[in-house]
Amino acid sequence: MAGLDMIFSQDILLDSEKFSKASKQFSELSSDMKALKKDISTLIDELAQGFDTPAGHKFVNSCKNGLLQPMEDQAAIIQHVSENLRMAETSYESVFTEFKELNSLIKSE
């Protein structure tokens, strides 16, 4: 019985609000990444005007392919994480509710 007392004396943390907050923050981060990519793309296009040579074209294409595409991919992944957190929160709403009730019972005894 001492083992159960030790288990029930510990708080289990499960917070639906943190799921919401994390989902929102990841979504904002994805938007920020997309905005940054757009800004960098604009700057590369401006830079390209001064690099109107075969070597300059290669440099600009290298920047676009090596920098912009990975940023776009990363923004998509971050948005996917946000959506998964939002779905998990919805899917586990009953778990959050039962968890709160269980914690209330444990604390009341």
Walk along the chain (109 residues) and give the pLDDT tens digit of each residue. Answer: 455 556 556 666 667 788 789 999 999 999 999 999 999 999 999 988 988 899 989 988 998 889 998 999 999 999 999 999 888 888 888 887 887 888 788 777 6
Q: Quote the pTM value.
A: 0.69
User: How confident is the model at residue 4, as a pLDDT?
Assistant: 56
Residue among 74, 70, 50 at smallest CA distance from 60: 50
Q: Which two tokens stand for residue 108?
A: 């009341």
User: How confident is the model at residue 99, as a pLDDT?
Assistant: 79
User: How confident is the model at residue 14, as a pLDDT?
Assistant: 67
DSSP 8-state secondary structure symbol assigned to residue 13 = P
Scan for tokens 């979504």, then name that residue.
27
Residue 62, CA distances (Å) to 16, 38, 46 in order: 43, 16, 15
